[in-house]
């Protein structure tokens, strides 16, 4: 009930491509859905987040699409760059402020 | 204030020893969180504080783990009688939830290796 399932586990795209990372959840008590980016040796950094009453949110090259009925949300990275190569985590806020994270997607953007 | 600071960055300890990590949150953030991350996995929640009060602890936090946040500022996480399974990255994060800011700011973590 508290799990967030993320796919794919790894993703390789060419520069300029649009990688899409998907997450699914079960617990309807989740009320806040952020995406984090993590580089090796660093802590996760907040990229973008969405509340369940919104179906899409864009910030720069990053877009979250949210489907409340399907209990799914996804991250799209427009015009991807080699500097976007990192591990991406989706998460969901549960019962207060605790975040439950997905398993992560290792993204590689080739030049 | 440059963000969430964690010390030390790396710790190698022998099995059975006690270790303590420190986290200094962003000064205006009243909530502080501890997470554990193993290689190839997402962070797992351990515990969180609002000011000096510890509001929630995960089942992952065995009796060997204890966290404190005296005076609602910095926090310490202590692991007693370390085991090899404790080897992980320990992440601290802070937020200002009462101002509607749900976004966590994470530190760079303390990597613990138990040998």
Q: What is the CA radius of gyration of chain A?
A: 13
Q: Give A1-51 pLDDT, tens digit per residue.
A: 568 999 999 999 999 999 999 999 998 888 899 999 999 989 999 999 998
Q: Give B38-93 pLDDT, tens digit per residue.
A: 998 999 999 999 999 999 899 878 899 999 999 889 999 999 999 999 999 999 99
Please tell me the distance in Å from B90's CA to the nearest CA on chain A: 10
Cβ contacts below 8 Å, chain A against chain B, sum to 56
B43:A103 CB<8 A: no
Cβ neighbours of A14 (radius 10 Å): 10
Q: Which long-range contacts (CB under 8 A, 24 or more apart) does A45-49 make?
A: A45/B106, A46/B103, A46/B104, A46/B105, A47/A75, A47/A88, A48/A75, A49/B102, A49/B103
Contact B58, B45 (CB under 8 A): yes
């Amino acid at each position: 009930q508290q799990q967030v399932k993320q796919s794919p586990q790894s993703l390789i795209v060419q520069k300029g491509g649009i990688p899409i990372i998907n997450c699914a959840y079960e617990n309807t008590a989740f009320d806040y859905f952020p995406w984090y980016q993590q580089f090796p040796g660093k802590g996760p950094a907040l990229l973008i987040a969405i509340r369940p009453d919104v179906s899409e949110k864009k910030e720069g090259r990053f877009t979250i699409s949210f489907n409340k009925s399907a209990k799914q949300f996804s991250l799209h990275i427009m015009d991807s760059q080699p500097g976007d190569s990192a591990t991406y985590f989706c998460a969901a806020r549960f019962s207060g402020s605790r975040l439950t994270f997905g398993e992560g997607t290792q993204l590689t953007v080739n030049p | 204030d440059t963000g969430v600071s964690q010390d030390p960055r790396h710790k190698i300890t022998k099995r059975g020893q006690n270790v303590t990590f420190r986290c200094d949150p962003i000064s205006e953030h009243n909530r502080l969180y501890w997470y554990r991350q193993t290689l190839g996995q997402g962070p797992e929640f351990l515990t969180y504080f609002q000011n000096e009060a510890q509001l929630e602890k995960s089942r992952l936090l065995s009796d060997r783990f204890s966290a404190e946040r005296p005076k609602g500022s910095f926090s310490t996480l202590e692991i007693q009688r370390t085991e090899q399974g404790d080897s992980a990255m320990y992440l601290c994060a802070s937020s200002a939830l009462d101002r509607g800011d749900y976004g966590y700011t994470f530190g760079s973590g303390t990597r613990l290796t138990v040998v």
